[in-house]
Amino acid sequence: MRRRAIVWFRQDLRLHDNEALQDALRNVYEVIPVFVFDERVFKRQTNFGFPKTGKYRTKFILESVADLRQSLRRLNCELIVRVGKPEEVLFELAKEYKTSWIFCNRERTAEELKVQDTLEQKLWSIGQEMRYNRGKMLYYTADLPFPVQHTPDVFTQFRKEVERIVPVREPLTKPDKTFNPWSVEVAPGEIPTLADFGHEDFELDSRAVLSFKGGETEGLKRLNYYLWESNLIKDYKETRNGLLGGDYSSKFSPWLAQGCLSPKMVYHELKRYEAARGANESTYWLFFELLWRDFFRFMAKKHGSKIFQIGGTRGVADPKWKNDPETLQAWIDGKTGIPFVDANMLELKHTGFMSNRGRQNVASYLVKDLGVNWQMGAEYFESVLIDYDVCSNWGNWNYVAGVGSDPREDRYFNMETQAKRYDPNGDYVRHWLPELAYSPV
């Protein structure tokens, strides 16, 4: 058995169902867990000038890293924390401590690929290697009935080809014994603060749907609450388009996005619930949403950087779309004059969260009504969302803008109709715009 290896934690901030961690524990004696706050992700801006990681998600990630450190300490191990460029920081650690491998769960989109490829090349120069695992999805590519490059571009076809014939593998359990002690001394490093990344500390807005706290501990707690304690899952399909409160949907997305919750864990807990309390359309619908999440990841694998380009995966762009910072800012600030849009945008601005129904509506309004380049909206969401997930965010914006995998041509959301259907009494609009009397739009 080789003596020592690094486990590079990325967007897999958990001990349960963590393949890279389990692979390392099987193959080396000393496991050194490391998390690197990439300065390009936490200190730089997007193309259109937004902070790449805004304060809401930064706080959630800081909490998640702190929770992971505490969990590892209970296993007599330390999480090494650094700030910098992962391909440089990890290379220096590997060189200094003479590790054999760096284990990590593979990422698939451009920025993450560049980092892991550069690190891999640097490791080769000192006779070390990367060991990649899969940690983000329900399904393994090896289990699919088609190669990734032949993944259907329409979700319904993907779902029909996959859901009934491909099993979801069991999640791996948490390590159940203490880690072997290190024979080297490694400075653990301090977990940064919001201020270190240019953000002021903030209090949770009293109007927020939920107090999202980062970490595996909180993610598992939310899973248990939504399924077992509250039994809310049994009505999920009927309530999922809600706008107010913490219980209308699962709200698992922030923990899934940072890997504090494994989708396989959610799925198998759902199956356990169905066995104990019965299956219905609502329990299926949660699985359906997890399928969408996988679908967007397969689209990103298949189409690569096309998901970020103005023409999307279809390679078609509306020539009328414009880069219009002034109109975009009015949309961001909830000052479009359309109360249903403005209420949703104010919720996002003040909490870092917005319902799925709200996201579809405000995205459609920006692109189809205001004629603004959808990439500007996608980058704003990337900056501010507490549950930003690269594949889901850009995949959904492709979909709404009509440049992605939507079988319907010119899908359009009428704001008046949507407001009447999903906020018929104006409760949501009043919640965020109390100065307004109810308007159906």
Q: For CATH 1.10.579.10, list the domain ranges present in the chain.
A: 309-432
Residue 2: per-residue pLDDT: 66
Bridge partners, 38 (sequence order): 84
Amino acid at 388: Y
CA angle 123, 127, 133 (to 5 degrees): 55
pLDDT tens track for 49-73? 999 999 999 999 999 999 999 999 9
Q: For CATH 1.25.40.80, list the domain ranges present in the chain.
A: 136-170+218-303
The pTM for the full model equals 0.96
Choose between 176 and 309: higher pLDDT: 309
Residue 38 DSSP class? E
pLDDT above 60 for 37:
yes
Q: For CATH 3.40.50.620, list the domain ranges present in the chain.
A: 2-135
Assigned token pair, 47: 């193309």
User: Which residue has 């702190």 as its token pair?
Assistant: 66
Assigned token pair, 177: 């014994």
Residue 407: per-residue pLDDT: 61
Is residue 261 within 8 A of residue 270, CB to CB? The reply is no
Mean residue pLDDT across the chain:
95
Is residue 91 within 8 A of residue 60, CB to CB? The reply is no
pLDDT band of 98, cuts 50, 70, 90: very high
Residue 391: per-residue pLDDT: 96
Residue 372 DSSP class? B
Residue 108: per-residue pLDDT: 84
pLDDT tens track for 226-274? 999 999 999 999 999 999 999 999 999 999 999 999 999 999 999 999 9
Residue 45: per-residue pLDDT: 97
Query: How many CB atoms lie under 10 A from the CB of residue 219?
Result: 28
Q: Percentage of the chain with pLDDT > 90?
A: 93
For the segment 78-92, the average pLDDT, to the nearest whole number, is: 98
Q: Could you say which of 3.40.50.620, 3.40.50.2300, 1.10.8.640, 3.30.70.260 is the CATH number of the domain covering 2-135?
A: 3.40.50.620
The CATH number assigned to the domain with range 136-170+218-303 reads: 1.25.40.80
Q: What is the DSSP string of 85-126?
A: -HHHHHHHHHHHTT-SEEEEE---SHHHHHHHHHHHHHHHTT
pLDDT above 70 for 362:
yes
Q: Which residues contact 157 (CB under 8 A, 6 or more apart)?
A: none
pLDDT tens track for 370-407? 999 999 999 999 999 999 999 999 999 999 999 997 76
pLDDT tens track for 117-173? 999 999 999 999 999 998 789 999 999 999 999 999 999 999 999 998 999 999 999
Class of domain 309-432: mainly alpha
